[in-house]
Structure 1
Amino acid sequence: MTEKKEQIRKQALAQRGRISENMRREYSRKIAEQVISHPLFLWAEEIYCYVSHGTEVPTNEIFSAAWRCGKKTAVPKVQGAHDMGFYFIRSMKELAPGCWNILEPVGKPETLAEGKKVLVILPGAAFDKCGNRIGYGKGYYDTYLKKHPEYRRIGLAFSTQCVKTIPAESHDVPVEFVVTERGILCQSNYQEIL
């Protein structure tokens, strides 16, 4: 199964890399609009979101919208093998290149984020219509989400990253929604906001 996942990962990342800059900007704008008007985003008091890197769906507009709405925002910081935590930030100026040159909180932040009414916004290499996700192979998000099963989950992707089926394993944690420039894919076991 690992070989199949690796093949899907490679293909999806290659397709993502072929999107032109102009199309990437247009698609990213559409994705951000859908996220910031989504019921889970509106409901959440805290947004735990990845800081986009390389050809990932950009997240700057999502952070800006969260701050405008008075929501607390947190970003991931790698803390060890397969381990990461989210830490609150108030500005992108609080970030510097960290693990794999991805922006993360500078130094050893003291404001570990572990709140209530949390929405986690995830990147990924590939997604399917059931919310199954292939990340980048290190298991950081799956490990984190297993510790916080009550947190709500949205994955961001360009439609070229969406595949028919991903061979999910027991340690994989699916997202509830996948937001693409073409619309929203929904997982069947989505629970209404209480």
Structure 2
Amino acid sequence: MLEEKNRLRDIMREKREKLTQKERLSKSETICQNVLSIIKPGETVMGFASKELEVNTEPLLKMLLKNKNPLVMPIIVKEDKSLRLSYLKDLSHLVPSTFGVPEPIGHEIPVPEGAVDVVILPMLAFDKRGGRLGYGSGYYDRFLEKNTDVKKIAVAFACQETEEVPLEDNDVLMDYVITENGVAFKR
């Protein structure tokens, strides 16, 4: 299973790399607008700060702050492969940290257990069942195991769709998969 997942990760990384920076930015803007249409006023949203080739989430994070949705960011804890959560009040508080992922290190505001309503997740591949292929470390899967009531919205470019994501028992299905073409999957 691991070999199959890693092969799919490589294929999807190649597909994503073929997008030009201009295409990525344009598609990302549309994806962010599509996600915003699903989020309700007042919902506490756990976002993520994207890395270079991922869907650029900066427009989404800015709009969530502007709309006064409480915004939570994950901080990677390598020792136990978990996510520590912090509220984010200003995007300038994000600094490159573990794996080069921007995190609010030095500006942490702890988030109480169960405060998150919606989780926006990165991914490398998705399918029409709501299957999501992440990067392989399982940080989000472990978070979702403990937070079963959150609305799960995964974002990707349409070119990252595959026929079937290989899923294991600990893999969590998404409630929504959003691309530049709209809602690719809804539970």
Q: Offset at 1:117?
A: 6.0
Which amino acid letter does the alignment assign opposite residue 59 of structure 1? T
Deviations 1:34-62 (A, max 9, x none): 11112xx1255201011101200011111
Aligned partners of 1:31 and 1:109: how far apart in 2? 28
What is the CA–CA distance in structure 1 between the aligned matches of 2:179 and 2:106, rounded to whole Å? 34
Does the C-alpha gap of structure 1 residues 126 and 3 become closer, same or farther in structure 2, counting only changes over 3 Å? same
The one-letter amino acid of 2:168's match is E
Partner in structure 2 of residue 141 of structure 1:
140
Q: Distance in 1 between matches of 2:18 and 2:178?
A: 19
Q: 2:50: which partner in 1? A: 52
Change (3 A) 1:165 1:99: same
1:60-93 deviation line (CA, Å, top 9, x unaligned): 1111111121111011101233211221010111
Tell me, in whole angstroms, the C-alpha distance in 1 between the residues paired with 2:98 and 2:49: 12
After superposition, the Cα gap between the structure-2 partners of 1:63 and 1:152, relative to the gap in structure 1 and judged at 3 Å, is: same
How much identity, in percent, do the aligned residues show? 29
TM-score (norm. length: structure 1): 0.90
Distance 2:179 2:155 in 1: 6
The 3-state SS of whatever aligns with 1:42 is coil
2:109 matches 1:95: no
Query: What 5-or-longer segments of structure 2 have no aligned partner?
Result: none
Cα distance, 1:67–1:177 mapped onto 2, change above 3 Å: same
| SS state at 2:154 partner | strand
1:33/1:78 CA distance change after superposition, 3 Å: same
In 1, Cα distance between equivalents of 2:136 and 2:14: 16
Given the two structures, how large is their TM-score scaled by the length of structure 2? 0.93
SS at match of 2:40: helix
CA distance in 2, matches of 1:115, 1:63: 21
Residue 119 of structure 2 aligns with an amino acid whose one-letter code is: V
1:11 aligns with 2:19: no
- 2:119 is aligned to 120
The alignment yields a C-alpha RMSD, in angstroms, of 1.6
The amino acid of 2:65's aligned partner reads W
Unaligned runs of 5+ in 1: none
